[in-house]
Amino acid sequence: MFTQQALEVILRAISPQGLLASSEKKDNYARVWSRDSMMTGITGILIENEKIVEGLKKSILTLAEYQAENGQIPSNVYGEKASYGTLVGRTDATIWWIIGTCEYIAYSKDETLKVILKDKIYKAFSCLKSWEFNQRGLLYSPLGGNWADEYVTSGYVLYDNVLRYWAFRLAAEIYQDENLNSLAETTKKLIETNFRKNNSGDVKYHETAYQKAQEKPYLWASLNANGYDERFDLAGNALAILLGLDLDLDAFTQFLEQLNQEFNHWMLPVFYPIIFPKDPDWNLLENNFSYDFKNEPYQFHNGGSWPIYLGWLCLGLKKRGYTEIPEKILKQYETLLAEKGSSFREYYSTDELIPSGTDQLCFSASGYLLMKK
């Protein structure tokens, strides 16, 4: 039942320009967003839904048309207007476009598009290279520079660098490029060396901060000049697991069980621990918004639960042979959809499990389909 409803949410959001974030005309969601359309389109590939895949192709071409001079892909396109970010630019928009484009080319075997978009893909990689700033291999993101655009992570962010590894790996295979393949392996090693405690003798990005960082059962959220942000980033870890990065999954799943016990449900927070007004990081939250403040404790990025990233988590864990927790997450989500209406809202508050944010969201519909995959 919910599978069909999730599909309908996505199909209603297909426009002549591509996949909209939502068919609802609210804020700026009725636009072709790079990250939303690529994730939705990749979901379409995984479930082999040709209408969604065709929507992905339209999204790829729409976003490519508005590629900036430096190679940056727009955060979103609406009509003939392109946005590259409002308060700051969005690093992940460019990476998701590369990923979605390569996944589409691999799936469709579209040799014409492969040739047409090659220069744009390499130009996008060149843009990302310039965002290292220090030529040491990891991508640097400003505060609010990715999907968690009203949150506190910045610097060498796990999520963005895992995405870049994925992009390198895909493009290397599509274009049979040994240099990109080498960059993929280098990026993977940099992430595994710098985002967790390990016995590697490799030089760390920030030796002083690394020595002070506490060992965690997951990959740390980000690294900055002032040290590590050791909080749990569910999205970054989910994608790292999906892509096969080295992580002690027994310890990781035990940590997820602890979160379940703490919150008493399986709609796990996208960032943890929660930031409260008394905490030092609150000042990074309270003014960082475009429309209205959403990051109260347990809400939105500040501990809200996002079905899209739970979907990637489930897919990654199942791929690595861990099926028990994905089954529990799916059951929890289906229970909520049945109890509170299957409208596929943006996120759930993790204190009271209240569905919040934009309705009819392709992100959440895709998350459900990824859980079911």
Q: Where are the beta strands (DSSP E) in the chain?
A: 14-15, 18-19, 32-33, 76-78, 81-83, 156-157, 220-224, 227-233, 271-272, 347-348, 355-356
Residue 243 domain-assigned (yes or no): no
Residue 106 domain-assigned (yes or no): no
Under the banding of pLDDT at 50, 70 and 90, the label for residue 210 is very high
Residue 115 domain-assigned (yes or no): no
pLDDT tens digits for range 3-37: 999 999 999 999 999 999 998 877 788 999 999 99
Say whether pLDDT at 342 is over 80.
no
Which residues are paired to 192 by β-bridges? none
Q: What are phi and psi of 321, to 5 degrees?
A: 90, 10
- Domain hosting 30: range is 1-93+120-127
pLDDT exceeding 90 applies to what percent of the chain? 94
Boundary-marking domain end, from 190, 207, 233:
233
**Could you tell me if 254 and 247 are in contact, meaning their C-beta atoms sit under 8 angstroms apart?**
no
Region 99-117: what's the mean pLDDT? 98
**Quick one: 205 and 254 in the same domain?**
no
What pLDDT, on the 0 to 100 scale, is given for residue 28?
Answer: 86
Under the banding of pLDDT at 50, 70 and 90, the label for residue 291 is confident
Residue 197 domain-assigned (yes or no): yes
What pLDDT, on the 0 to 100 scale, is given for residue 138?
Answer: 98
Boundary-marking domain end, from 233, 268, 294:
233
CA distances from 123 to 66, 116, 232 (A): 13, 13, 32
Tell me which DSSP letter residue 288 carries.
-
**Quick one: 78 and 180 in the same domain?**
no
Please provide the average confidence, as pLDDT, over all residues in the chain: 97
Residue 158 domain-assigned (yes or no): yes
Residue 98 domain-assigned (yes or no): no
What pLDDT, on the 0 to 100 scale, is given for residue 202?
Answer: 93
Residue 110 domain-assigned (yes or no): no
**Quick one: 184 and 258 in the same domain?**
no
Under the banding of pLDDT at 50, 70 and 90, the label for residue 60 is very high
What pLDDT, on the 0 to 100 scale, is given for residue 361?
Answer: 97
Region 273-287: what's the mean pLDDT? 95
What pLDDT, on the 0 to 100 scale, is given for residue 25?
Answer: 72
To the question of pTM greater than 0.85 for the whole model, the response is: yes
pLDDT tens digits for range 61-100: 999 999 999 999 999 999 999 999 988 999 999 999 999 9
**Quick one: 314 and 228 in the same domain?**
no
pLDDT exceeding 70 applies to what percent of the chain? 100
**Quick one: 258 and 372 in the same domain?**
yes
Instruction: Give how many domains the chain has, as a whole number.
Output: 3
The length of the chain is 373
What pLDDT, on the 0 to 100 scale, is given for residue 241?
Answer: 98
**Quick one: 21 and 75 in the same domain?**
yes
Under the banding of pLDDT at 50, 70 and 90, the label for residue 216 is very high
pLDDT tens digits for range 128-150: 999 999 999 999 999 999 999 99
**Quick one: 181 and 254 in the same domain?**
no
Closest to 276 measured CA to CA, from 306, 304, 302: 302
**Quick one: 253 and 373 in the same domain?**
yes
Boundary-marking domain end, from 233, 262, 282:
233
Residue 109 domain-assigned (yes or no): no
**Quick one: 283 and 349 in the same domain?**
yes
Unique residue bearing structure tokens 């109890």: 339
pLDDT tens digits for range 147-157: 999 999 999 99
Region 345-356: what's the mean pLDDT? 97
**Quick one: 278 and 175 in the same domain?**
no
Residue 103: strand, helix, or coil: helix
